Amino acid sequence: MNSNYQHSDITQLILKSFYKVYNTLGYCFLEKVYENAMRIELRKIGLVCIAQQPIDVFYDSEKVGVYYADLIINSCVIVELKAADGLAPEHEAQLTNYLKATNIEVGLLLNFGRQPQHKRKVFTNDRKDHN
């Protein structure tokens, strides 16, 4: 299977939930409000959703910090939520770093800004140092 389509069934469900939450709440809330609403919506459609999952970060085999992923869906997709004017390169870099630090290969960046935005990132495990 082409890695670009990996977990596309789940990411499509997540995106449908994103637009449902966005159309219901609009923009200008804090990220935590959207995180809570997304958790509710994703669970309603039968997805397993873990919020604020800690992700250890290693440097030279030593733990140097912890990231907290906004949502991990079905143990296979990381979702990073933003409530910004627009997506910035550092938002994409943050999601890529989460993917690099885990065995999860697919991530979604969702922005609840003035205009809803999303980006899908894939970082395959064969490209990661920890395998």
Q: Domain residues of the chain, as ranges?
A: 8-125
Q: What is the second-level CATH architecture of the domain 8-125? A: 3-Layer(aba) Sandwich (3.40)
The four Cα atoms 55, 93, 111, 18 give a dihedral, to 10 degrees, of -50
pLDDT digit string (tens) for the chain, length 131 residues: 455 677 999 999 999 999 999 999 999 999 999 999 999 999 999 999 999 999 888 888 889 999 899 999 999 999 999 999 999 999 999 999 889 888 899 999 999 999 999 999 998 888 776 54
* Residues across the chain: 131
Task: Give the pLDDT score at 131.
Answer: 44
The pTM of the whole model exceeds 0.85: yes
Task: Give the pLDDT score at 130.
Answer: 52
Copy the structure tokens of residue 79.
Answer: 């979702």
